[in-house]
Structure 1
Amino acid sequence: MAVNPWQPPYDHHAAAAPGAGEPQTTYGITEEIEGDARLKNVVETAVGNWNTVLREVGAQGDLIKRGTQSWPSEPDAAAIQLSLGEVTNPFGLGGGLTTPDCGGPDGNVCKETVTFDRETIRDLDEDSGVHLVAHELGHALGLDHSKYPVADDEVMSQEGTMGVAPPTKPTQEEARAVLALYGGSAS
């Protein structure tokens, strides 16, 4: 097994839904994404790809579910909110940006807002769109960019794929890193 290149992970991640038994978190989409069948499909595919690989490494069910959970400041909100807007990424890369709103005893339990640049995501082919959403979901789930890319198929790599279709689902190593953050046991 490859060395986990995501250590240490971000110092924050989307909060797990309380009382859910198995670890899970929630996501929501704005009406603008909901009303665009292609973008909604891109989001659902990226979420489905994360959940599939998470189950492959030991999650008992879907870690990421559409819905809401209760917060001290808001009674009903998703832990990860996906939206469209104008994104000026400080690194000049990609078409998405993940920003946390953190609290909790250690300040690391967060609601994560993922904003995709409206024009960029609509201009991407389907695989590139799924890759972008899966990559930003990885950030919302607590992963940073891979520090030592060990494979071309890492969704969290900051490196481009140079003429190769971008990865649309996380590697098992990436999924194990997320599962560890949420208290699940990975195989």
Structure 2
Amino acid sequence: MAGPLHVLSARLQSDTPVSTVALEPYVLCRRGDGTTVSAEEVPAEGHTDSRFSVKCRWYRSVVTKGGQYCWVHPEKEAAIQCILCLRCKVDTKKSYHCSPECLREHWAFHRDFHQQSRENGDNGFPRVDSFKGSYTYSNSGETWVEVGRERVYTPVPEDVGAILKFECTSYDAASPYPEVGKTFSIITARVRPGGMRRHAELAR
């Protein structure tokens, strides 16, 4: 590649992610010769010997104790919590619902959670730090944990109710300051659960 690579823009087709549905940002770059290309046509960081590449990161917001949200309707604040989930050490985020009706409607899921926990002898869900190389940082009062280093990221059940953030910048492996130009960020809405109603119908 003749000259520096610069990221010009980054966008998502939808800012409302759904668990298990891949997020694939469109990233537009400009090469040193002035031509524009998508990130798909540019080497990814760490996947090539090329000097210039695109560095991508995905982060998940860490929900604080004072800001719990419904697991089924992440746009709503939580109003009720399943005590059995706490006793069975189920992932805490899955214990919150926006109303008693919401908890009742999705009780089939809780039966599965409780049973799985008893069978596993623990909570059965990955810890926040299970991602290799993950870490947290704070920005404007928000705490984030790294969950991905590829341009494409598929939200997992642990992301439900949390906000995701995508960051990308051009990367120069030969420079002492490898990040070149502006870092582009995309912040999503809260991740929604995927295929829950169908699962509930089958579990009844």
TM-score by structure 2 length? 0.27
Given the two structures, how large is their TM-score scaled by the length of structure 1? 0.29
Give the structure with the larger helix fraction. 1
Higher Cα Rg: structure 1 or 2? Answer: 2
Quick check: which one's strand share is greater? 2
